[in-house]
Amino acid sequence: MKVLVADEISKSGVELLKSQGYAVDVRTGLKEDDLVKIIKDYDVLLVRSATKATRKVIEAGRLKVIGRAGIGVDNIDVDAATERGVLVMNAPSGNVISTAELTIGLMFALARRISQADASTKKGEWKRKEMKGAQIQGKTLGIVGLGRVGAEVAKRAAALGMIVVAYDPLVSPEVGAKLHVRLLPLDRLLRDADIVSVHTPLTPQTKDLIGKEELAKMKKGAFLINCARGGVVNEDALYETLSENGIAGAALDVFTKEPPAGSKLLTLQNIVLTPHLGATTIEAQEEVGSEIAEQVIAYVRDSSIRNAVNLPAKLDPEIAPYMPLAEKLGTMACQLGMFSASKVEVSCRGELAHKDIRIIVACVVTGLLRPMSEEFNVNYINALATARTRGIEVVSSTSDESGRYKNLISVELKANGGTVAVVGTLMSDKGARIVEIDGNSVDIEPEGNFLLIGHSDKPGMIGKVGTVLGDNDVNIASMEVARKQVRGPAMMILTLDDDLPPAVLEKVRRIPDLNSAISIKL
């Protein structure tokens, strides 16, 4: 077994691989063409963030594993690896403490104006009055994303005497209680918190999660910290807010473009910027190097897989076509449930009932967790374990009865004190379809942007919604209305050509006789 270590990892990690009899070459600083020339000689490629494992590199080799000593896999073409049957794994836990500690450090830097005071004093100034800060004790910290890093930040903040609240749709109230954290909707958290700290991955659902409207809801004297991923906080909106003193200050360790050359944020005085240092400690680098080495050894020696970020190439050919549908159903259930998931029930009906449905269940949970989970690489291998750590109960069942369909996958999510349910199938002429939402019969393709509206079935409702969308330049691609009885509760499903701006969604929600309006992205 030959291993290429293309970025620096800890010596202990390298020695661990060698102790198992692997031939290990450490060759750093390689460009794509260099890798293409030599990669065919190796079974395992280990990288950090510098080396790019591109499609060209992957297709030139015979790799069995690509390991990332760290959490992010942006530098690895995961799709190409999956197509070639290459397992991609990362080491997500080694830098948790380091990132949490940096967050606390930035919190103090903002509250006590440490960066500004340091720069001023080095200039020979003595501006004690101008550098008046604020105490941390007694302040409310709002954590957006209560995964591993968020949980560690919560523990440290509580020890500092802070009041800790959090927003995480996939954490149950029981888990929040164990952490002594009160779970809140995002709007409420933004209004209540003195400091908001972001700990979510960058996904289509979390891109620009903190934008102009969200920043406007924060207190004038509040601080914002992002040690998660660039793009979760809209940098243009943040610049505008900070330059107009909408909030007191911000601290960023991550950026949409890294390094952030030319960013307007570099010109501000009320912001602290660090060069993506979350995992850059001696201890974290030692930990992730050893962690990824141990995982590679476990996989090669025992076929034991931990922290894999892609699907294996070999799958049951009769089950495989249902996996994308199952994941979409989980994602839709997550977005319909919105807050404090506690239980998910997956039922496979029809011919699927005679298959091993564990992969289907795992795909549903993957779709459920991925939109808001800090473990943005969650997949069917680690989805069920991740759900357990978040206090989400997963139940599965089968039945031969599937009505007029050959097969059905049903997902029922208990969240926010209520229940949401979605049902999907594969049709020979249409492909994947969602055929039921909360008991209402529908027929929609699970792809794109949707607006789901609960309303009273009365004349004029369609027109009112269409008018609001039309006045705000939102184009409707298709629409259907589902109802169980005339003049009773109804559901309007609109397929939109573009993302629905939050401001427009708020206008829709203000329409009389409208019970709910939820934006869905699949």
For the segment 286-292, the average pLDDT, to the nearest whole number, is: 92
Q: Helix or strand or coil: residue 411?
A: strand
| Amino acid letter for position 420 | V
Tokens representing 148 are: 């591993």
For the segment 403-423, the average pLDDT, to the nearest whole number, is: 90
Question: Does the annotation mark 258 as catalytic?
Answer: yes
As a 3-state breakdown, the chain gives helix, strand, coil percent values, each rounded to 5, of 35, 25, 40
pLDDT digits (tens, 9 = 90+) for 88-125: 999 988 889 999 999 999 999 999 999 999 999 999 99
Mean pLDDT of the chain: 91
Strand (E) or helix (H) holding 441? strand 440-444
Question: Does the annotation mark 276 as catalytic?
Answer: yes
| 3-state secondary structure string across 27-71 | CCCCCHHHHHHHHHHCCEEEECCCCCECHHHHHCCCCCEEEECCC
| Amino acid letter for position 389 | T
For the segment 330-345, the average pLDDT, to the nearest whole number, is: 85
Residue 386 has pLDDT above 90, yes or no: no
DSSP structural state of residue 341: E
Residue 82 has pLDDT above 50, yes or no: yes
Query: How many other β-carbons are positioned within 10 Å of the β-carbon of residue 36?
Result: 17
* Pairwise CA distance, residues 442 & 434, whole Å: 7
pLDDT digits (tens, 9 = 90+) for 455-476: 888 888 899 999 999 999 999 9
pLDDT digits (tens, 9 = 90+) for 186-244: 999 999 999 999 999 888 888 999 999 999 999 999 999 999 989 999 999 999 999 99
In the set 84, 276, 306, 509, the catalytic residue is 276
pLDDT digits (tens, 9 = 90+) for 50-67: 899 999 999 999 999 999
Angular region, 36: left φ>0, alpha ψ -120 to 50, beta rest: alpha
Give yes or no for a contact between 2 and 41, defined as CB atoms under 8 angstroms apart: yes
Residue 338 has pLDDT above 70, yes or no: no
Query: How many other β-carbons are positioned within 10 Å of the β-carbon of residue 172?
Result: 21
Angle in degrees, CA 65, 279, 181, rounded to 5: 110
Residue 485 has pLDDT above 80, yes or no: no
Model confidence, pTM: 0.74
Q: Which residues contact 290 (CB under 8 A, 6 or more apart)?
A: 10, 12, 13, 16, 94
Report the largest interatomic distance among the alpha carbons of the chain, rounded to a whole angstrom: 81
In the set 48, 229, 370, 390, the catalytic residue is 229
C-alpha neighbours within 13 Å on the C-beta side of residue 218: 30
In the set 15, 174, 258, 318, the catalytic residue is 258
Question: Does the annotation mark 130 as catalytic?
Answer: no
pLDDT band (50, 70, 90) for residue 311: low
Residue 313 has pLDDT above 50, yes or no: no
Domains annotated on the chain, with CATH: 2-94+283-302 (3.40.50.720), 96-273 (3.40.50.720), 320-521 (3.30.1330.90)
**Cα separation values, 408 from 35, 348, 349, Å:** 46, 6, 5
Sheet harboring 449-456: ordered strands across? 476-483, 489-496, 449-456, 514-521
Residue 416 has pLDDT above 80, yes or no: no
Name the least confident of 134-148, 165-179, 251-265, 331-345.
331-345
